[in-house]
Amino acid sequence: MKITSIFLKKTIKILILLCILGLMAVYFFAPKAKVLHGILGGENLYLEIADTSILHEKGLSLHKPLAPNEGMIFIFSSDGKYGFWMKDMLFPIDILWLDSEYRIVYVKEDVAPSSYPEVFMPTTQARFVLELPAGFFKKHELHLGDTLKISR
């Protein structure tokens, strides 16, 4: 009986250690989101990069709410009229379409998750799309033609 108890205690300790090592491996080796730094409306922004079709489709779906200086930038390989919807979104956002020079060419403010399945399309072609916290456009007194400045 005593041998079984000692064996069980050692087995539990080994399993706990393996779990801790596994969690550490996930934390240290999991791919981190690529981030682009920029300035818009005097605000330093940290923008997660969506530059593949898989990331374009996922976007901010099921993402935690954004901090006031966080967002996502969708990078497309060519100009187009890219439509966006609020599938699986948990919070409202402002959507800004930018041309190849990072100038705002179209905006849709305060888009609510409840608007799904509506698709929001710009009236002009864009190369980039920004998703920012709802109210960002108004709070920073932005206008069409304002430019996102990229920090390299």
49-84: pLDDT as tens digits: 999 999 999 999 999 999 999 999 999 999 999 999
If one counts every other C-beta atom within 10 angstroms of the C-beta of residue 105, the result is: 19
pTM exceeds 0.85: no
**Quick one: average pLDDT of 100-127?**
97
pLDDT band, residue 9 (cuts 50/70/90): confident
112-125: pLDDT as tens digits: 999 999 999 999 99
**Quick one: average pLDDT of 9-28?**
65
Q: Is pLDDT of 32 > 90?
A: no
pLDDT band, residue 14 (cuts 50/70/90): confident
Cα-based distances in Å from 150 to 2, 44, 59, 66, 103: 66, 10, 20, 19, 11
If one counts every other C-beta atom within 10 angstroms of the C-beta of residue 94, the result is: 22
Residue linked to tokens 């996922």: 58
